[in-house]
Structure 1
Amino acid sequence: MSTRSDEDSQQRFALGLIFALIALVVLSVVGAAVYHYGLPQADAAEGAAAQAGAPATSVAVITETVVATVPEGASIRVEGDTVNFYFATGSADIAPGAAEALAIVLKGVESGRKAIVSGFHDTTGDAAVNEQLARKRAETVRDVLAGLGVPAEKITLEKPAVTTGSGSNAQARRVEVRLID
């Protein structure tokens, strides 16, 4: 008959293994996105600089809007130096397809910037529960970034002055990651 500590040890091992597998999958997806989307931009910038006779630079400017949507209402939107992770009602799960947005944040941090993570919520339901859910969503995004190797000193969890988002309820249920110098 096994003891309680043996069972706890086995459960911790299983949870650790599951977490490691999830981290491996996320890192693989982010790595593939960085490889797929990061290298062509650098090659294009170097090619344009070479044609103009100027030295190549590695500064990338984000000028397009990227949107990924899933049926549950969770999505990701990248606009300039801000990445918005939108969440389904009552959920703190990041939308599938977040690898590209996470890769943008990783690139920003690697270039010396900081990531400010803020959680927002809609106005439906209990305000206290919504506040807790907004914080949990922000912590989830922070933890994913930390799991991808972003140093803790480069991530700041910041409660916005007004936590209820403007616009529709779907737009209000978000975590905003701003890249600052």
Structure 2
Amino acid sequence: MSSQDNDQDIRVVAVVLISAILLAVGLAVGMGIHKSRAGAAKGAPAVAAQAPAAEASAAPAAAAASGTVAADDASIVVENGVVKFYFASGKADLAPGAAEALSDAVAAAKGGKKLVLSGFHDATGDPAMNAELAKKRAMALRDALVAAGVAEASIELKKPEQATGTGNDAEARRVEVVIAD
């Protein structure tokens, strides 16, 4: 077998792999758009806010709505009554649309319910720094809730037993808001 044959084989494999990746991404985006439109039609809370509006596009919004988060996007997903705030790597900045996503949680807290905030982080880097960053993210969310009129006594910061989030790194960098009884 000659070197030219090997080069040609490598090119074919590369084209096939790239095509498969593009197909998978397109399928994920399409499913995300479909789910977000179906949820909106049923009146379900479907929030997918993206960081800087100039960078926002249909692909990241659809990815957030489908439960997958791009690597450097800050976003918000409401799923089964839990508001999940995703953060860019190394940042504690809330995504635009935080107030709208928290409206049900704020109303519940003002009605006497307790809000439980749990911060998660990815497995990359220094574990102690990651834990501190997860705490800063939860505190940023607490501050947003207080600014929205929620009493601090109605907010509980709860460190999860397993603070390293599951899924890919982008999905692991999150704070979850749960309405407790």
What's the TM-score once normalised by structure 2's chain length? 0.62
Q: Hey, what does 1:161 align to over in structure 2?
A: 161
Letter in 2 for 1:112: G
TM-superposed CA distance for 1:68, in Å, is 1.8
In 1: Cα distance, 2:147 partner to 2:49 partner: 22
Shift, 1:147, TM fit: 2.0
8 Å CA contact 1:64, 1:80 repeated in 2: no
Tell me the alpha carbon deviations over residues 103-128 of structure 1, each in whole angstroms, 9 at most, x when there is no partner: 22212212321100110000011111
Counterparts of 1:24-173 in structure 2, within 5 Å, are 63-70=44-51, 71=55, 72-173=72-173
Say if 2:118 and 2:160, in contact at 8 Å, map to a contact too.
Answer: yes
In 2, the alpha carbon distance for the partners of 1:179 and 1:162 equals 20
> Distance in 2 between the 1:96 and 1:67 partners?
9
2-structure distance, mates of 1:113, 1:176:
16
Q: Percent identity?
A: 50
Following the alignment from structure 2 to structure 1, what is the Cα–Cα distance between the partners of residues 164 and 153?
A: 27
Contact kept? 1:85, 1:176, Cα under 8 Å: yes
Number of paired residues? 120
The answer as to whether partners of 2:121 and 2:163 remain within 8 angstroms in 1 is yes
1:34-58 per-position Cα deviation (integer Å, ceiling 9, x unaligned)? xxxxxxxxxxxxxxxxxxxxxxxxx
Aligned partners of 2:92 and 2:133 also within 8 Å: yes
Note the alpha carbon deviations across 1:9-33, whole angstroms, 9 max, x for none: xxxxxxxxxxxxxxxxxxxxxxxxx
Counterparts of 1:154 and 1:63, CA distance in 2: 25
Mind listing any 5+ residue stretches in structure 1 that lack a counterpart? 1-61
Q: Alignment partner of 1:167: what SS?
A: coil
CA contact (8 A) 2:134 2:175 kept: yes
| Deviation at residue 161 of structure 1 after TM alignment | 0.3
For the Cα contact (< 8 Å) 1:63–1:79, is it kept in 2? no
Q: How does 1:9-24 map to 2 (within 5 A)?
A: none
How large is the RMSD of aligned CA atoms in angstroms? 1.5
- The alignment's TM-score, normalised by the length of structure 1, stands at 0.62
* Displacement of 1:79: 1.4
Q: Which position in structure 1 is the counterpart of 2:25? A: none
Q: 3-state DSSP class of the match of 1:68?
A: coil
Retained in 1: the 8 A contact 2:99–2:148? no
